[in-house]
Structure 1
Amino acid sequence: MNTSTTNLIKDQANGNSWLRLASESTARFTDYGITPTVLETEEDVGEAMLNELLATAAEKDGDINIALLGGRGAQQMHRLLGRLAKSGERDALLARLNVFTQDALAPMGMGNGFSFVRDFERILGEEFFQKIKSFTPMRTDADDLEAGLVEYLQKLESLGGLDIFFIGHGPEDNQASHLAYIKPFSGAEHQHVAGIIPISSSILEHHISKFKAGGSQVNETDEQECRAAEFILTLGPAAILQAKKVVQSVVDADSAPAKVKTYAKVLHTQLSEDKSQALRQLDENPGLWIRLHPNVKSFVLPNVGV
């Protein structure tokens, strides 16, 4: 990030709160498109994502800053990282990692079994968290969620921003999609680094059912607290566009068949050369933000249908 997060300004749009950089951004709206890489299995996708991390480690010295992806999209990569942590084969790499989360339900206790943090711990394993340089989750238990999010952003900025933004693809109505949790008509713009978005009952139901099906250790108390969550904390378009590399995975089109059409729409929709029209397209379908990044790897399975 090029501007101090102490100079963040809050914007309100359709009930959403966005934090933007105080300086005027001169972001160029260049549509680079997407060239998906079709792989046969989820294990192949996990290995491809890990290879992108290894490539970054070979290309630069010092720390490596990454945003972890939750859900099925990156679970195979997480399993591979967990095995490496147990084996000791890549301890030098792990010691360079500053790991960040990219979205979270709030308010909610950090120990809640429906938190992505608990899911990361379950799959990555204790050894992984002992060996990495740092782990910075979004604070979902802060008395002031906005102040907690600013503190998170300050940590990310102090480390030089993200080297890799591991990201997914979420289906929305009208064949639209979300990235991180930048949702349609949430008013997100290119200078917004993070946001606080009101949650919907459908998102809560999807989140709870996904965690139960995935084998997370949860209980009734955790579920009640999760159902009381009011917001989603999310990184915004600026965090995505400023990352040095974006690595996307889409592996669950069988269980989420809407992704077939929503991914195809992102793949084939060209952004307008008129900036105001392009902004309308991005607000209607935030999955399109990925087309504005010059260094994207999009790993998908054959069931996505591309």
Structure 2
Amino acid sequence: MRHEDNQNIWLSKQSEFPFNCTDYGIVPTVLNTEAEVGQAMLEELYNTAKSKEGDINIALLGGRGAQELHRLLGELAKSNENDALLARLNVFTQDALAPLSMDNGFSFVRDFERILGDAFFKKVKSFTPMQTDTQDLESALVAYLTKLEELGGLDIFFIGHGPEANQASHLAYIKPFSGAKPQHLAGIIPISNSILEHHISKFKAGGSLVNTNDENECRSAAYILTLGPAAILQAKKIVQSVVDADSAPAKVQTYANVLNTQLSSNKDELLQQLNTNPGLWIRLHPNTKSFVLPNLGV
């Protein structure tokens, strides 16, 4: 089903989605270094591999938040020791700028390839990015969601935390006041200059291989494709990492707001809180780990 809210397009299934309003809160795990955060994230993947049989479906986090995890996975792929685990992985991306050439250096796909390496992509069972180089973004997003559903949904949603104006935050790229509802699986959201600047600056800070043409094309992107609240809430486990408060100092306050905001017990009021500050959606998931560095001040 398609729902439009102030130019934001949201996709959901026809079946009713039960909305659990329980606030599970977040208890952040403070680790000393980014390398320790990456190792902790990898351990969560190992734990999932031990607890279930068959395929493991994961959504990769782009940008700075999971680069250490990706480096570790890339190192694992260079040997044969963990080939059995890698062969079980169905890997998805969780957001993207569009329209954008799939080979643009500011594409998460290119950044994943740079850090994870060729061996990783050869050894995983599948890799499914969001298509950003098509004239029919909506149909491409439906095809992406269909594949994710057919594989059984996400076992691990690796996720970050993005600062927004008025000390709010985005989750995946669910923007404040974008109209995201609990049943929405994915959305197509008009982009803002602030998002483009944040995206470009974090890619440059992370060492992405980019050039002027890539940057110009990136600045002409009109939309964000993002997984929605339903994809987050239906994931079996959420693993959050926040490692870049030094280069994005607004995260100190926006993350604190996610930790400390008193969520309303009234459903309508709660939905308004979530629309105002989508970073709060993570509080409604019963199985969440949040790995952070001391620079976040928690």
Instruction: Give the shorter-chain TM-score range.
Output: over 0.9
Q: Residue in 1 aligned with 2:116?
A: 124
Matched position secondary structure for 1:73 = coil
1:301 and 2:293 aligned = yes
- State the alpha-carbon separation in 2 of the partners of residues 38 and 217 from structure 1: 30
Kindly indicate whether the alpha-carbon contact (under 8 Å) linking 1:247 and 1:297 is maintained by their aligned counterparts in 2. Answer: yes
Q: Residue in 1 aligned with 2:125?
A: 133
Matches within 5 A, 1:53-92: 53-92=45-84
Q: Residue in 2 aligned with 1:50?
A: 42
The TM-score with structure 1 as length reference comes to: 0.96
1:161 and 2:153 aligned = yes
Matches within 5 A, 1:213-224: 213-224=205-216
Q: Residue in 2 aligned with 1:101?
A: 93
Q: Which amino acid aligns with 2:38?
A: G
- State the alpha-carbon separation in 2 of the partners of residues 213 and 91 from structure 1: 31
Match of 1:32 among 7, 24, 36: 24
1:10 and 2:6 aligned = no
Matched position secondary structure for 2:65 = helix
Q: Residue in 2 aligned with 1:266?
A: 258
Matches within 5 A, 1:149-298: 149-298=141-290
- State the alpha-carbon separation in 1 of the partners of residues 198 and 259 from structure 2: 25
The Cα of 1:150 is off from its aligned counterpart by 0.2
Matched position secondary structure for 1:98 = strand
The Cα of 1:216 is off from its aligned counterpart by 1.7
Aligned residues between the structures? 298
The Cα of 1:142 is off from its aligned counterpart by 1.5
The Cα of 1:304 is off from its aligned counterpart by 0.7
The Cα of 1:205 is off from its aligned counterpart by 1.8
Q: What's the RMSD between the two structures over aligned residues?
A: 0.8
- State the alpha-carbon separation in 1 of the partners of residues 255 and 200 from structure 2: 24
Kindly indicate whether the alpha-carbon contact (under 8 Å) linking 1:31 and 1:270 is maintained by their aligned counterparts in 2. Answer: no
Match of 2:136 among 144, 152, 155: 144
The Cα of 1:204 is off from its aligned counterpart by 1.1
Kindly indicate whether the alpha-carbon contact (under 8 Å) linking 2:31 and 2:292 is maintained by their aligned counterparts in 1. Answer: yes
The worse-fitting range, judged by mean Cα deviation, of 53-62 and 211-220 is 211-220
- State the alpha-carbon separation in 2 of the partners of residues 305 and 211 from structure 1: 24
The TM-score with structure 2 as length reference comes to: 0.98
The Cα of 1:228 is off from its aligned counterpart by 1.2
- State the alpha-carbon separation in 1 of the partners of residues 243 and 70 from structure 2: 14
Structure 2: 5+ residue runs without aligned partners? none
The worse-fitting range, judged by mean Cα deviation, of 48-57 and 202-211 is 202-211
The Cα of 1:26 is off from its aligned counterpart by 2.1
Kindly indicate whether the alpha-carbon contact (under 8 Å) linking 1:57 and 1:93 is maintained by their aligned counterparts in 2. Answer: yes
Kindly indicate whether the alpha-carbon contact (under 8 Å) linking 1:14 and 1:185 is maintained by their aligned counterparts in 2. Answer: no
Kindly indicate whether the alpha-carbon contact (under 8 Å) linking 1:250 and 1:299 is maintained by their aligned counterparts in 2. Answer: yes
Matched position secondary structure for 1:72 = coil
1:20 and 2:12 aligned = yes
- State the alpha-carbon separation in 1 of the partners of residues 121 and 185 from structure 2: 26
Cα displacement string for residues 185-205 of structure 1 (whole angstroms, at most 9, x for unaligned residues): 000000000000001112112
Cα displacement string for residues 101-150 of structure 1 (whole angstroms, at most 9, x for unaligned residues): 00000001111111000000000000000000000000001220000000
Q: Residue in 2 aligned with 1:3?
A: none
The Cα of 1:212 is off from its aligned counterpart by 2.4
Cα displacement string for residues 41-65 of structure 1 (whole angstroms, at most 9, x for unaligned residues): 0000000000000000000000000
Identity %: 76
Kindly indicate whether the alpha-carbon contact (under 8 Å) linking 2:155 and 2:235 is maintained by their aligned counterparts in 1. Answer: yes
The Cα of 1:215 is off from its aligned counterpart by 2.1
Structure 1: 5+ residue runs without aligned partners? 1-8
